[in-house]
Copies of this chain bind each other. A is one copy, B any other.
Amino acid sequence: MNKTTFPDAPPGLRSPPFKGDARSDLKRERILRVAEALFSKQGYANTTMSQIVDKLGVSKPFVYYYFHNKQDIFETLSWRPTVECFSALEFDEDAALPAHLRVSKGLERLIRATIVNYPSAFFPYREPQVYRPEYRAAQKKMARHFYARLCALMEQGRQEGMLEFDETKITALAAGSLPGFLFYWYRPHGRLSSEAMVTELTKLSCRVIGLRIRKKTSKKA
């Protein structure tokens, strides 16, 4: 991932203590998983720090050692999928790939990151009112960054005769709508496996951007 251009995390989230300490990381992760399940089942307002602490079978200071408060846990849970989703076009190993394949691979990654990170990937859509303005600003910056890259790659793919569309920005946003709107209807453990779902949705979002299987002969230099 290109660290120099990638947007920053929202200010105020508590960094993990003892960075790189595997045992400490595991404990922090356990808190996140227990809280995620409670938030998902009961919603943010109905979930208390005491419930999280009880479910973990630990003391309150144990949790406060890792997180400032309930909102910090919720934002930390939400931030991870946000980074995974919106960094879907950031991978250096793809630099040699033609633009249309970077786009389709990027859309596939975006869709997979949304599904794999269920349910916390859906928290920002389900309870948008919970987040601090600083968090929302960082998330917006991240989304803008993603769509700027997507538009640039799409235009390159169109010039190379492999993508076909009219309005770049609207087409990009429409392609991004497919994973974005998943929160409204996706249920895990449904008829299709999550990988089959990724395959189906990637195919459909590639239709949106007018991906060709073969190059348009007239456009070839």
Contact = CB atoms under 8 A, between A and B. Distances in A.
Interface in A38-57: 43, 45
A137 interface: no
Interface residues of A, number: 32
Contacts of A178: 174, 177, 208
Interface of A: 43, 45, 125-129, 165-167, 170-171, 173-174, 176-178, 180-182, 184-185, 192, 197, 200-201, 203-205, 207-208, 210
A204 B126 contact: no
Contact of A177 (B181, B207, B210): B181
In the A-B complex, the 7 residue pairs with the smallest Cβ-Cβ separation, listed nearest first, are A177-B181, A181-B181, A174-B204, A207-B207, A180-B181, A177-B177, A173-B185
Given A127-B128, A177-B184, A207-B207, 9 more contacts: A166-B200, A166-B203, A167-B192, A167-B200, A170-B197, A174-B204, A177-B177, A207-B208, A208-B208
